[in-house]
Amino acid sequence: MSSQSDAANDDLKRNGNTPDLEPSSVCGPHETVAPENPSRRSFFKMTVGGAVAGLVTAAGVEFAEPRPVLAQSALSPDEALQQLMDGNKRFTAERLTSDALDLAILKQNTIEKQEPFAAVLSCADSRVPVELIFDQTIGHIFVTRLAGNMATSEIIASLEYGALVLGTKVILVMGHSNCGAVKATIQGKQVPGQISALFPHIQPAVDQAGPNLEAATKANAKIQAALLRQSSTVISGLVKENKLKVVAAYYDLATGVVSLVD
Ligand SMILES: [Zn+2]
């Protein structure tokens, strides 16, 4: 994929156009749609943005106000990260706004095209419902999940697509407390089936941080984020151009708080 993506990336640099991959070609319904349709775009901004603004005013919510869903591509990487963290503040404060958005309108507006502002690489753990903990909904975030949140080739390919074609501005690699995959790697016991295929990916974090579960999980998030930055020419290229940010994070199951891991 990398040579194809590099070519697409070059194409992007040359003329600023979306590469020859339709956002709908990998995920979701397979209707062909023009990459840009200004009139449709402003309609979205008006309807969805208006709905959000009305909601915010009506609820008197002043902090961590959500942005209109389809102004996403205009966000900088720092703003995209802030938007995720603001969503997590609303989640921990139990002041969710995404559940009040009109899902029918959001669904209708994203049938043909998606413009997620952020991507998240998370563990498959059922206690980490990614959209919910960031107070996001349909079309907002591009989520890849895998036990142990590792940057495997397939995950990297998916995140490259998210960044290059869909325009995600930040990739958050998120570990979480009490992670079974990291715990099992630390224990190093025999396991049935192919479960042990996870361990080699997580072992470098255990080697680095030792047997403390939280320390190893945070180290794993950092190592996987670094892998994304280093092993993908697409991602490293976008990072160099300040069009993308890759950060490691840690989700605390007890408090619901997402914190960045430096
Ligand atoms: Zn986990």
Taking only the tens place, the pLDDT of each residue in 30-53 is 333 334 344 433 333 333 433 443
Are 222 and 174 in contact by the 8 Å Cβ rule? The answer is no
Distance 179 CA to ligand 1 centre (A): 4
Distance 231 CA to ligand 1 centre (A): 23
> Is the pLDDT reported for residue 159 higher than 80?
yes
pLDDT of residue 53: 38
Distance 121 CA to ligand 1 centre (A): 11
Distance 249 CA to ligand 1 centre (A): 13
Are 105 and 51 in contact by the 8 Å Cβ rule? The answer is yes
Distance 245 CA to ligand 1 centre (A): 23
Distance 192 CA to ligand 1 centre (A): 18
Paired tokens of 173: 């690699």
Distance 157 CA to ligand 1 centre (A): 21
Which residue has tokens 């996403």?
Answer: 72
Rounded to an integer, what is the distance from CA 9 to the centroid of its chain?
20
Report the percentage of the chain scoring pLDDT > 90. 66
All structural domains of the chain, each given as residue ranges with its CATH number in brackets, are: 2-261 (3.40.1050.10)
Strands 258-261 and 245-251: antiparallel
For 49-105, the pLDDT digits (tens) are 334 433 333 344 344 444 444 445 689 999 999 999 999 999 999 999 998 888 888
Which residue has tokens 């697509």?
Answer: 161
Distance 188 CA to ligand 1 centre (A): 16
Which residue has tokens 């419902």?
Answer: 129
* Its pTM surpasses 0.85: no
pLDDT of residue 74: 85
Nearest to 256 by CA among 129, 138, 140: 129
Report the percentage of the chain scoring pLDDT > 70. 72
Distance 86 CA to ligand 1 centre (A): 23
> Is the pLDDT reported for residue 194 higher than 90?
yes
Distance 217 CA to ligand 1 centre (A): 9
> Is the pLDDT reported for residue 155 higher than 90?
yes
Distance 102 CA to ligand 1 centre (A): 31
Are 127 and 82 in contact by the 8 Å Cβ rule? The answer is no
Distance 14 CA to ligand 1 centre (A): 41
Output the CA angle 158-159-165, nearest 5 degrees: 90
pLDDT of residue 21: 54
- On average, the pLDDT of the chain sits at 81
Higher pLDDT, 15 or 206: 206
Distance 123 CA to ligand 1 centre (A): 5
Distance 175 CA to ligand 1 centre (A): 7
Q: How confident is the model at residue 189 (pLDDT cuts 50, 70, 90)?
A: very high
Instruction: Tell me the residues surrounding ligand 1 (ion) with CB < 5 Å.
Output: 123, 125, 179, 181
